[in-house]
Amino acid sequence: MDMKPTHILIALFSTLPYLFAASGTKAGVAKVEITPRGPIWMAGYAARTKPSEGASPIWAKALALQDSKGMTAVIVTTDLIGLPRSVTDVVAARVIEKYKLERNQIVFNSSHTHTGPVVANNLWIMGPQEPVQKRIVEEYTNNLKDQLTTVIGAALGAMQPAALAFDYGEVGFAINRRVVTPKEVLLDVNPAGPVDHKVPVLRVVAPNGQVLAVLFGYACHNTTLTAEFYTITGDYAGYAQAGVEKAFPGATALFMQLCGGDQNPNPRSKPELAEQHGAALAAEVGRVVKTKMQPVTGRLKSVYQTTELPFAPHTSEQYTKDLQDKNVFKQRRAAAMLALYKEGREPRKLQYPVQVIRFDKGFTLVALGGEVVIDYSLWVQRTFAGERLMVAGYSNEVACYIPSARVLREGGYEAVDSMIYYGQPGPFTEEVEPRIQEAVTKAMSRVKK
């Protein structure tokens, strides 16, 4: 006779009571619906020409974790394309003041759905230009700041004894999308390109065997639904979270987008495919949750730091030329850059966030800003092979794509063209990779002391 998931977990943990009695670990989880109240401009595709038409629920969720010494970390996930620092800095400051946390104890991540609303100051070059739509986006973003602050407080307030466990699953619908030809780099399907199909899963269980939360991730653009779709949804990640919550009643499922900057779902462009990918991911997460996963115990430490990523040299003359370009997005970027040049504030480098949250045994979260390509995740896993890792991109600030040195040399969308839509001056130099690697190495060293 089949056992219900809760019964399976009670059976597993009945042999491990020390996880609750001795570890002193606590956890709290909360969620808040962040679905726009009406039509709003959607984020992610420059081809869109009108606001949204209808919506399925999208969510912000928070998971608070605490060790036996009272050290706390909060992981915030959102069904959004990305959060700018103008949102995360404001929310973090409120939480720091109200709940006496520090910045290194709060990490924000976005699922990168391309069927979600525009967030002000993110991908603003392709955002709405009409005053009415701009106002709607501003109002949504201001309300979002309140909702994120609220959900973090709710998770902290829900703290209770919990056992944590971590392990990996695997699904295969992500595929590398960079096809390098002698003339150009195409966005297509590249079965020979680097990928990472692992699905890291963190399980949070109450003493009675109830699954409180499941945090999981996958390195794949959340873009099953392409530009012709105008309904607000969480795409495959939204369906996956709903599937996990259905499998474990009473649990909250949180999805973290990993380093999927150059990864796409395959196949895509049909609503049923978003449901199919989500169901596959949910099924694998559910399978892992029901196994005897590796315990997560010990001290909790967290580090947040920034490093400077230099942009390639640029001049005002190139933007003056771009003002005459047929591409309206190049025109908008050029106007913005020339305004900064006039003020003497032209950007030469990006302040880039790197964060690590680590328990002594069993779980390390490396959270990187921007649309990080898969090379960084593979490097982290090779370099810190002894760690039980979840390596996320799209964290704390999504200011642009973060290419590796290889991707920069190859060129193409992630290295060059995407910077137009983010309103950045142009590509980085190849120093981007060693600087991020150095920052990750330093952060890992600090949390392991």
Residues 251, 318: one domain? Answer: no
Cα-Cα end-to-end distance for the chain: 48
Count of domains observed in the chain? 2
Residues 226, 334: one domain? Answer: no
| Calpha distance 322→430 (Å, rounded) | 24
What band does 17 get if pLDDT is binned at 50, 70 and 90?
A: very low
CA distances from 145 to 86, 98, 416 (A): 10, 14, 31
Residues 69, 216: one domain? Answer: yes
Residues 321, 290: one domain? Answer: no
Domain that holds residue 90: 5-298+368-384
pLDDT at 21 over 80: no
Q: Is residue 152 part of a domain?
A: yes
For range 165-186, the mean pLDDT: 98
pLDDT digits (tens, 9 = 90+) for 191-227: 999 999 999 999 999 999 999 999 999 999 999 999 9
Residues 202, 323: one domain? Answer: no
3-state helix/strand/coil string of the chain: CCCCHHHHHHHHHCCCCHHHHCCCCEEEEEEEECCCCCCCCECCCCCCCCCCCCECCCEEEEEEEECCCCCEEEEEEECCCCCCHHHHHHHHHHHHHHHCCCHHHEEEEECCCCCCECCCCCCHHHCCCCHHHHHHHHHHHHHHHHHHHHHHHHHHHCCEECEEEEEEEECCCEEEEEEECCCCEEEEEECCCCCCCEEEEEEEECCCCCEEEEEEEECCCCCCCCCCCCCECCHHHHHHHHHHHHHCCCCEEEEEEECCCCEEECCCCCHHHHHHHHHHHHHHHHHHHCCCCEEEEEEEEEEEEEEEEEECCCCHHHHHHHCCCCCHHHHHHHHHHHHHHHHCCCCCEEEEEEEEEEEEECCEEEEECCEECHHHHHHHHHHCCCCCEEEECCECCCCCEECCHHHHHHCCHHHHHHHHHCCCCCCECCCHHHHHHHHHHHHHHHHCC
CA distances from 394 to 84, 139, 292, 305, 367 (A): 10, 23, 30, 15, 8
CA distances from 146 to 32, 60, 113, 150, 157 (A): 11, 11, 21, 6, 16
User: pTM score, two decimals?
Assistant: 0.96
Confidence (pLDDT) at 22:
53
Confidence (pLDDT) at 23:
75
Q: Is residue 27 part of a domain?
A: yes
For range 297-323, the mean pLDDT: 98
Strand 72-78 to strand 106-110: parallel, antiparallel, or no bridges (unpaired)?
parallel
pLDDT digits (tens, 9 = 90+) for 396-418: 999 999 999 999 999 999 999 99
Confidence (pLDDT) at 15:
44
pLDDT at 229 over 70: yes
Q: Is residue 362 part of a domain?
A: no
| Calpha distance 329→332 (Å, rounded) | 5
| Calpha distance 40→279 (Å, rounded) | 28
Confidence (pLDDT) at 322:
98
- Please provide the average confidence, as pLDDT, over all residues in the chain: 95
Residues 120, 246: one domain? Answer: yes
For range 420-446, the mean pLDDT: 98
pLDDT at 372 over 50: yes
Q: The sheet that has 198-205: what strands, in order across it?
A: 252-257, 211-218, 198-205, 163-170, 294-310, 349-361, 364-368, 389-392
Question: Residue 11 contacts by C-beta under 8 Å, 6 or more apart in sequence?
Answer: 3
pLDDT digits (tens, 9 = 90+) for 25-53: 999 999 999 999 999 999 999 999 999 99
What is the residue type of 387? E
Confidence (pLDDT) at 3:
46
Residues 337, 372: one domain? Answer: no
Q: Is residue 141 part of a domain?
A: yes
Q: Is residue 306 part of a domain?
A: no
Whether 365 and 383 have beta carbons less than 8 Å apart is answered as: no
pLDDT digits (tens, 9 = 90+) for 83-140: 999 999 999 999 999 999 999 999 999 999 999 999 999 999 999 999 999 999 999 9
For range 158-164, the mean pLDDT: 98
pLDDT at 6 over 70: no
For range 156-184, the mean pLDDT: 98
Q: Is residue 396 part of a domain?
A: no
Confidence (pLDDT) at 4:
55
Exposure of 19 in the CB half-sphere (CA atoms within 13 A): 23
pLDDT at 12 over 80: no
Residues 320, 257: one domain? Answer: no
Residues 149, 248: one domain? Answer: yes
pLDDT at 14 over 70: no
Q: Is residue 401 part of a domain?
A: no
Confidence (pLDDT) at 58:
98
Confidence (pLDDT) at 7:
54
Confidence (pLDDT) at 1:
39
Residues 154, 87: one domain? Answer: yes
Percent of the chain with pLDDT over 70: 95
Q: Is residue 307 part of a domain?
A: no
Strand 349-361 to strand 211-218: parallel, antiparallel, or no bridges (unpaired)?
unpaired
What band does 16 get if pLDDT is binned at 50, 70 and 90?
A: very low
Residues 155, 89: one domain? Answer: yes
pLDDT at 2 over 60: no
Residues 157, 250: one domain? Answer: yes
